C-alpha cells in the first residue's frame, strides 16, 4: 500500500498538467474563432489583458465568450497552484528523508543533465525501485520490448509489445529525445547518431525506441550498482 501511495503525487501531477494543456488549448481555440491569435493564457497578467483584447475589426469580445474565458483562467490558476503544491511537497519529502532508498535513487538520477526531479521520481516510483531480476525484466516492465510474430522459420516484428507500464514507456521515449539535446557526447547518443545518418523518419522513430530501452537499462544499472552510463555529463554537486 505504501508503494502504491507513493505513486499518487506524480500521477496526479501528470493529470493536472494534461488538464492545464486542455484549458490553454480551449482558450486559444475560442480566441482563434474571434481572429485573436497572440494572447498567451499562461502569462501572469493574462487576467488583466483578457478584457483589452480586440478582434481584427477592432470590436471587443462577445460578453459570453469573455465570461467563459475568465472562468477558464480561474481554473487554469487553480491547476497551476496545485501543480506547484505537489512539486513543493515532493521536494520537502526529499529533504526530510534524504537517506531513504527511493529518495537516494531520485537524487542520483537527477544528477544527470537532462533528467529532472519529476522524471526521476516517476522512474523510481514506477519501475526502478522494483525488485526486477535483470535487464530484460526492466525492458519488459516498461513495454519497450518487441512483439515478434513467429510462424515456422519466419519471424516478423510487429512493433512494441505495449504490455508494460505505458507511463514509463512514454516518459522514456521523451527522455531519449531529450538526451539527443543534452547528452550529445554520451555513448548512447553516439550509437543513435551512427545508425540514423540516412535521415529517414522511420529509422529515427524505431531507433529512438531502441535507445529508450537501452537508456532505461543503463539508468536501472546506475541506481542499483552506481555505474553511470558511458559519456553522460553530470550536474555538479
Which is higher by pLDDT, 82 or 204?
Answer: 82
Average pLDDT over residues 160-181: 87
The single-letter DSSP state of residue 151 is E
Q: pLDDT band at 141, cuts 50/70/90?
A: confident
- Give residue-wise pLDDT tens across range 12-49: 999 999 999 999 999 999 999 999 998 999 999 999 99
Tell me what pLDDT residue 154 has. Answer: 59
Cell of 43: 502569462
User: Considering the entire predicted model, what is its pTM?
Assistant: 0.83
Q: pLDDT at residue 163 above 80?
A: no
Tell me what pLDDT residue 61 has. Answer: 93
The Cα diameter of the chain in Å comes to 71
Q: How far apart are CA 99 and CA 30, in angstroms?
A: 49
Share of the chain above pLDDT 90, in %: 71
- Give residue-wise pLDDT tens across range 212-237: 999 999 999 999 998 999 999 998 76
Tell me what pLDDT residue 162 has. Answer: 65
Q: How far apart are CA 183 and CA 35, in angstroms?
A: 41
The residue to which cell 540514423 is assigned: 196
- Give residue-wise pLDDT tens across range 85-116: 999 999 999 999 889 999 999 999 999 999 99
Q: How far apart are CA 226 and CA 173, in angstroms?
A: 23
The residues, any chain, with a CB within 8 Å of residue 98's CB and separated by 6 or more, are: 104, 107
Contact (Cβ atoms closer than 8 angstroms) between residue 132 and residue 141: yes
Amino acid at each position: 500500500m505504501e508503494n502504491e501511495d507513493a505513486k499518487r503525487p506524480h500521477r496526479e501531477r501528470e493529470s493536472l498538467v494534461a488538464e492545464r494543456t486542455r484549458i490553454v488549448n480551449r482558450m486559444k481555440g475560442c480566441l482563434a474563432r474571434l481572429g485573436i491569435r497572440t494572447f498567451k493564457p499562461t502569462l501572469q497578467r493574462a487576467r488583466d489583458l483578457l478584457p483589452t483584447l480586440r478582434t481584427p475589426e477592432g470590436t471587443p469580445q462577445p460578453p459570453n465568450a469573455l465570461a467563459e474565458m475568465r472562468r477558464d483562467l480561474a481554473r487554469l490558476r487553480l491547476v497551476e497552484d496545485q501543480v506547484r503544491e505537489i512539486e513543493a511537497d515532493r521536494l520537502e519529502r526529499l529533504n526530510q528523508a534524504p537517506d531513504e532508498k527511493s529518495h537516494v535513487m531520485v537524487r542520483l538520477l537527477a544528477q544527470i543533465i537532462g533528467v529532472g526531479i519529476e522524471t526521476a521520481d516517476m522512474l523510481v516510483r514506477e519501475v526502478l525501485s522494483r525488485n526486477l531480476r535483470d535487464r530484460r525484466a526492466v525492458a519488459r516492465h516498461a513495454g519497450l520490448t518487441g512483439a515478434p510474430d513467429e510462424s515456422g522459420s519466419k519471424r516478423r516484428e510487429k512493433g512494441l509489445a505495449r504490455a508494460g507500464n505505458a507511463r514509463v514507456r512514454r516518459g522514456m521515449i521523451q527522455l531519449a529525445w531529450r538526451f539527443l539535446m543534452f547528452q550529445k557526447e554520451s555513448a548512447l547518443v553516439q550509437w543513435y547518431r551512427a545508425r540514423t545518418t540516412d535521415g529517414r523518419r522511420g529509422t529515427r522513430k524505431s531507433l529512438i525506441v531502441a535507445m529508450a530501452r537501452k537508456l532505461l537499462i543503463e539508468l536501472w544499472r546506475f541506481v542499483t550498482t552506481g555505474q553511470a552510463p558511458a559519456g553522460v555529463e553530470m550536474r555538479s554537486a
